[in-house]
Amino acid sequence: MRTFYEPRDAPPRLATGAFILNSGLGKLKADAETAQGLHGMACVAYPFLERIGPERFTRLLAWSEITVGTALLAPCVPTRLAGLALTGFSGGLVGLYLRVPGMREPGSLRPTQDGIPLAKDFWMLGIGLGFLGAGSCCRRGVRTPKERS
């Protein structure tokens, strides 16, 4: 099978993809109380989500995570496309971290104990942004190392 990414992209794609995929699979089995908690926190940051019921929201979130995780793990998905999905998804999670009260120390970006689980979304955003720039150094007329050999 042909891969659409450089070998250097494999470790962050595998680690991040497995992490997100596992999270999504876990949410598929969420009970009503868990769904209510996830939905409630999301509604604080994004009030328009109140129109969606907690169980439906949790199912949509789970399938979104499964989709993004699978895109990162699949070698047939180009790194830039996987990076676009990861950047969009993690950007929404960073917004959650920034908007939900009690996740950060007052007047700071430093997480509180409650915010530590969400603070990890910054590294996922960084990986996604890095993937968006994959291959951008190669301009017309400039040969890549593979082309030189």
pTM for this entry: 0.85
**Alpha-carbon dihedral sign for residues 71, 72, 75, 79:** positive
49-82 pLDDT, tens per residue?
999 999 999 999 999 999 999 999 999 999 999 9
pLDDT of residue 144: 56
Candidates 104, 109, 94; CA nearest to 46 is 94
Share of the chain above pLDDT 70, in %: 89
CA-to-CA dists, residue 14 to 38, 80, 85, 115, 133, angstroms: 26, 15, 15, 25, 18
pLDDT band at 106 (very low <50, low <70, confident <90, very high): very high
